[in-house]
Chain A
Amino acid sequence: MLYLEWVSFLGLLGCGLWIFLKLPIEASQGFPQKIMYLHVPSVITTYLAFFVVFIFSIAYLWKRELVFDQIAKASAEVGLVFCALVLLTGAIWGKPTWGTYWVWDARLTTTLLLFLIFMGYFLLRMSVNDRDKEARLASVLGIIGFLDIPIIHKSVEWWRTLHQPSTLFKVESGQASPSISPELYYPLVASIIVMLVFYIYLLLLRYQTEKRTDRLNQLLADTQD
């Protein structure tokens, strides 16, 4: 755990130094393009975090083991923080490039919807006292919430949007062909890998907290009995 903490911190620092000291300033967007190395990895981490919620919610409904719900809850919280940062960094990047912080564009609106669904996920958890019922209802919402992610990803193709189409996952004639120069592509891939390691660290930290909190609630309930 401590090892993972230091690997992610040093990785983030290394990526930061690479982005700010080694990379040239991009010609069309200028200096604000540097936000891409924060925004895009945060988006991919959000997708992964909610995918983990989806998988472990299904696992909980199938096996009814609390550990699956604890992992889903931990991942949902980390994912929600990343999702909020995606919206914030996207809005800040939008101002110098689009001239506005926010537009009711399909990509932005569906991302906001994802954030609101997972806010609801935690409100639901807080409103139910029975732990098993809480886990059951939250698992259903976690599965439904994840279904928004393919819509977010495809929104730039399905609707006319201000948001640019996919650059990293661009597919041409059945083959992946990212529309980004290699000079900008490799630091972006490095940032994504480091951000995913950072997510794993946060997930483990949050899962330990969840496990301890559940144990505490169980002990308190036993004491009251």
Chain B
Amino acid sequence: MLIGLEYVVAAYGIWLCTFVCYIFLTKRRLKIASHAVDALEQKNTESSTRPQDQNNK
């Protein structure tokens, strides 16, 4: 049995878990923000072209 194994496992475990969580949460934030931006931009495009379409009719 290695003396001090628990300290090494704790240090590496905390480091790894922190970054797994951080990357997961950051990617989720990016995905949510990207979807929201795309939806709003599409909505803005539709609302800006609609009056023009009605005028053409």
- Encoded as 1 (CB less than 8 Å from any B CB) or 0, chain A from 19 to 39 comes to 000000100001110110011
Identify which of residues 16-47 in chain B touch chain A, using a CB-to-CB cut-off of 8 Å. 18-19, 22-23, 26-27, 29-30, 33-34, 36-37, 40-41, 44
Partner of A96, one of B7, B18, B27: B7
A163 within 8 Å of B (CB atoms): no
Q: Interface size (A, Cβ < 8 Å)?
A: 32
Number of interface residues of B (CB under 8 A): 26
Q: Decide yes or no whether A89 CB sits under 8 A from chain B.
A: yes
Q: Which of B8, B22, B37 contacts A35, CB < 8 Å?
A: B8
Question: Contacts of A223 on B, CB cut-off 8 Å?
Answer: 40, 44
Contact with B along A80-101 (1 / 0, CB 8 A): 0100110011001101100000
Q: How far is the CA of A212 from the CA of B8 in the complex (A)?
A: 38
Residue A213 CB within 8 A of the other chain: yes
Please state if A88 and B8 are interface contacts (CB–CB under 8 Å): no
Residues of A within 8 A of B11 (CB): 35, 38-39, 88-89, 92-93
Binds B, one of A114-122, A178-186, A202-210: A202-210
Interface residues of A: mostly helix, strand, loop or mixed? helix
Contact in complex: A212, B14 (CB < 8 Å): no
**B3 to A, closest residue via Cβ:** A30
Q: Which 10 A-B pairs have the closest CB atoms?
A: A212-B33, A32-B4, A219-B40, A209-B30, A92-B11, A31-B2, A31-B4, A89-B11, A96-B4, A35-B11
Given A32-B8, A212-B33: 9 more A-B contacts, CB < 8 Å:
A81-B19, A84-B18, A85-B14, A88-B14, A202-B22, A209-B33, A216-B33, A219-B41, A222-B44
User: Could you write out 20 A-B pairs with CB less than 8 Å apart?
Assistant: A34-B8, A35-B8, A38-B11, A38-B12, A39-B11, A42-B15, A85-B18, A89-B14, A89-B15, A92-B14, A202-B22, A205-B23, A205-B27, A205-B30, A206-B26, A209-B29, A212-B37, A215-B37, A219-B40, A222-B44
A contact set with B: CB distance below 8 Å: 16, 25, 30-32, 34-35, 38-39, 42, 81, 84-85, 88-89, 92-93, 95-96, 202, 205-206, 208-209, 212-213, 215-216, 219-220, 222-223
